[in-house]
């Protein structure tokens, strides 16, 4: 897991925030996995209460952390959003900041 996180950090620094890299991981329950990939190393991604930037931020997910992706939909802002959970809260993250997620 440490190698996967380190690799994600390297990609986050070397690639633009909208890049999609690596394979998606799929669990036995059918959920997919990805890694938070922000433009700046050490930054974080907001977990929001709904699929859009206009929804309240619930918590932050650090760059490089793995996330379980349970559902996706397009928000009214035109971006694809993934439902996930972090720090004991369930919410939504913008798909273009999750590397390795299925298209």
Residue 27: alpha-carbon gap to chain centroid: 16
The DSSP bridge partners found for residue 92 are 48, 83
Give the whole-angstrom CA distance, residue 98 versus residue 86.
14
Number of domains in the chain: 1
Residue 55: alpha-carbon gap to chain centroid: 16
> CA angle, 52 as apex, 64 and 12 as ends, to 5°?
20
Domain of residue 45 covers 2-99
- Evaluate whether 56 touches 88 at the Cβ level (below 8 Å): no
pTM beyond 0.75: no
Supply the CATH number for residue 14's domain.
2.30.30.40
pLDDT band at 39 (very low <50, low <70, confident <90, very high): confident
For 2-12, how does the pLDDT look when each residue is reduced to its tens digit (9 = 90+)? 554 444 444 44
């Amino acid at each position: 897991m440490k190698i996967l996180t380190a690799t994600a950090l390297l990609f986050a620094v070397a690639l633009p925030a909208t890049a999609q890299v690596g394979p998606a991981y799929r669990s036995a329950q059918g959920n997919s996995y990805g890694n938070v990939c922000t433009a700046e190393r050490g930054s974080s991604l907001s977990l929001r209460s709904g699929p859009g930037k206009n929804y309240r931020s619930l918590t932050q997910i650090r760059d490089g952390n793995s996330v379980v992706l349970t559902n996706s939909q397009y928000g009214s802002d035109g971006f694809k959003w993934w439902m996930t959970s972090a720090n004991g809260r369930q919410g939504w993250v913008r798909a273009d900041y999750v590397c390795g997620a299925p298209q």
